[in-house]
């Protein structure tokens, strides 16, 4: 159901080529940046004050077979361009298969005809007014990210929203922006996002979910800006829309729509209460595919064929997630992530209090290019940054806010974010098209983020 986008291949940078470039850069950095490490607790958190340099062997042998140990580091071999990919894909296997099974479920859902029927009904009832539909969808999507930590789950709805946007007379970018801008702003605000806050706030020594009032106000303000930018894009893409009659859905289509709505509720509950992760989500999508096929009166053979066709449509998205994992593998095995954190943290020491707060945001922005995973980045950076912030008179709560802002901003635009690339691959939208669209909003939100962090430091948040 992903919409096709006319591309000029000579001017559009392929996402796979982008990830190969990022992987090559990571390999080069392991030769340039000195290696080092922090001592770590059993849960993986770095221990402040324990950073130590690790000697690095730069030799001809390191070009081919040298491996890092705890006492001796080796730069990544050029052949890591190939060898790091299977390792990265293995580490991201749960997410990759979840994406594939999600695509299979959509293949069955598309074949049932229920999505098209439901979209026609929605367009008819709204009178074809995108200015009504888009804000309602964005508020719901962003709330799911901000309060519940939903992000990969929204791959589920991208094809549906793209089809809805097309029926409303808008282009692929409008539909994609409805989901992505809303989800990214939700993560940026993270009012009660358990995925991040349950990791970052305990490290900072503050109660989980505390300090939500400022994050709530920030999220609401940022979301209003995001909705305005998306609606402006919708007006630019406007084509004539003639809503059809609001015909009733068939009994089978109603059953399928009910199944999908119930599945969304179950996904939210499973994530929050049963702590579902990628493997559980993947199994759920497989079961949902079968249920949708049965409800739609499809034969077993037709369900199987639609499932496989849907999985094929998500191969690129899964591959990009694996490539993003390979970049992190190279940086980790080259023992240069800890030196980067140590070096960035050292730069903020001795600055005035407000500037330390701004520096914390910048540090997290840099780290997000290298480590898109929020939970992994929190475990690596927060134990180091919290003591530095406290020495400057900045609270743990404000340090968590700086982490949220740096992480959320860069994941809107980062070419190393496997999830963003998976979103783009699902929509068949070039990264360059998205980058041109989001850059002005990214710039505005970045300025506002520094205003917010300065305010937080000033009031002792």
361 token code pair: 């945001």
Q: In angstroms, rounded to a whole number, what is the distance separating the alpha carbons of residues 427 and 314?
A: 10
Q: How much is the pLDDT for 149?
A: 83
Q: What are phi and psi of 451, to 5 degrees?
A: -65, -45
Q: How much is the pLDDT for 412?
A: 95
Neighbours of 333 (CB within 10 A): 19
46, 440 in Cβ contact below 8 A? no
The interaxial angle of helices 158-167 and 418-427, nearest 10 deg, is 40
Put simply, whether the predicted model's pTM sits higher than 0.85 gets the answer: no
Q: In angstroms, rounded to a whole number, what is the distance separating the alpha carbons of residues 394 and 374?
A: 21
Pairing of β 52-54 and β 35-37 = antiparallel
DSSP 26-53: HHHHHHHSPEEE--B-TTSPBPTT--EE
The distance from CA 304 to its chain's CA centroid, rounded to whole angstroms, is 30
Q: In angstroms, rounded to a whole number, what is the distance separating the alpha carbons of residues 5 and 428?
A: 7
Q: Which residues contact residue 216 at a Cβ distance below 8 angstroms, ignoring those fewer than 6 apart?
A: 189, 191
Q: In angstroms, rounded to a whole number, what is the distance separating the alpha carbons of residues 197 and 215?
A: 12
Q: What are phi and psi of 180, to 5 degrees?
A: -75, -45
The model's pLDDT over 397-435, given as tens digits with 9 standing for 90+, comes to: 999 999 999 999 999 999 888 889 889 988 889 888 999
Q: What percent of the chain stands above pLDDT 70?
A: 92
Q: How much is the pLDDT for 220?
A: 97
State yes or no: pLDDT of 2 exceeds 60: no
Q: What percent of the chain stands above pLDDT 90?
A: 35
262 token code pair: 């119930």
265: alpha, beta or left, given left = phi > 0 and alpha = psi -120 to 50? alpha
Whole-number mean pLDDT of the chain?
86
Q: How much is the pLDDT for 56?
A: 87
Q: Which residues pair with 441 in a beta bridge?
A: none
The model's pLDDT over 95-151, given as tens digits with 9 standing for 90+, comes to: 888 888 988 988 898 888 887 777 777 777 777 688 888 998 999 899 989 988 888
Which sign does the torsion angle of CA 127, 129, 130, 133 carry?
Answer: negative
State yes or no: pLDDT of 238 exceeds 80: no
50, 312 in Cβ contact below 8 A? no
Q: In angstroms, rounded to a whole number, what is the distance separating the alpha carbons of residues 176 and 341?
A: 34
Q: What is the CA radius of gyration of the chain?
A: 23
Q: In angstroms, rounded to a whole number, what is the distance separating the alpha carbons of residues 252 and 191?
A: 38
The model's pLDDT over 354-383, given as tens digits with 9 standing for 90+, comes to: 999 999 999 999 999 888 778 778 888 888
């Amino acid at each position: 159901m992903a919409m096709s986008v006319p591309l000029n291949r000579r001017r559009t940078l392929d996402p796979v080529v982008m990830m190969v470039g990022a992987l090559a850069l990571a390999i080069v950095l392991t030769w340039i940046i000195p290696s080092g490490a922090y001592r770590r607790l059993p849960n993986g958190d770095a221990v402040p004050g324990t950073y130590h340099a690790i000697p690095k062997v730069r030799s001809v042998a390191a070009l081919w077979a040298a491996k890092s140990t705890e006492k001796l580091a080796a730069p990544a071999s050029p052949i890591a361009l190939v060898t790091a990919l299977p390792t990265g894909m293995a580490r991201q296997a749960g997410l990759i298969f979840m994406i594939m099974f999600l695509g299979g479920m959509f293949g069955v859902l598309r074949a049932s005809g229920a999505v098209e029927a439901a979209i026609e009904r929605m367009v008819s009832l709204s009178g074809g007014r995108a200015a009504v539909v888009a804000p309602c969808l964005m508020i719901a999507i962003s709330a799911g990210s901000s309060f519940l930590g939903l992000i990969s789950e929204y791959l589920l709805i991208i094809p549906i929203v793209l089809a809805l946007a097309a029926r409303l007379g808008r282009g692929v970018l409008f539909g994609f922006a409805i989901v992505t801008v809303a989800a990214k702003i939700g993560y940026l605000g993270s009012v009660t996002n358990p995925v991040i806050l349950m990791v970052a706030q305990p490290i900072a020594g503050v109660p989980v979910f505390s300090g939500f009032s400022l994050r709530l106000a920030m999220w609401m303000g940022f979301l209003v800006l995001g909705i305005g930018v998306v609606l402006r894009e919708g007006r630019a893409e406007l084509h004539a829309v003639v809503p059809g009659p609001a015909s009733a859905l068939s009994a089978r289509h109603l059953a399928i729509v009910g199944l999908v709505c119930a599945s969304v509720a179950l996904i939210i509950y499973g994530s929050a209460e049963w702590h579902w992760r990628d493997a559980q989500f993947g199994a759920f999508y497989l079961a949902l595919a079968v249920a949708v096929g049965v409800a739609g009166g499809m034969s077993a053979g037709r369900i199987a064929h639609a499932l496989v066709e849907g999985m094929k449509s998500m191969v690129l998205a899964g591959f990009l997630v694996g490539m993003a994992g390979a970049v992190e593998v190279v940086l980790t095995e080259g023992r240069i992530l800890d030196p980067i954190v140590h070096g960035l943290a050292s730069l903020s020491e001795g600055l005035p209090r407000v500037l330390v707060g701004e520096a914390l945001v910048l540090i997290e922005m840099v780290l997000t290019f290298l480590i898109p995973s929020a939970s992994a980045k929190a475990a690596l950076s927060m134990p180091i940054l919290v003591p530095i912030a406290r020495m400057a008179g900045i609270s743990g709560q404000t340090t968590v806010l700086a982490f949220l802002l740096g992480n959320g901003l860069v994941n809107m635009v980062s070419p190393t974010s496997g999830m963003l690339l998976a979103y783009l691959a699902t929509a068949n939208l070039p990264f360059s098209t998205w980058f041109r669209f989001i850059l002005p909003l990214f710039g505005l939100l970045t300025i506002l983020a520094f205003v917010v962090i300065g305010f937080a430091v000033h009031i002792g948040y």
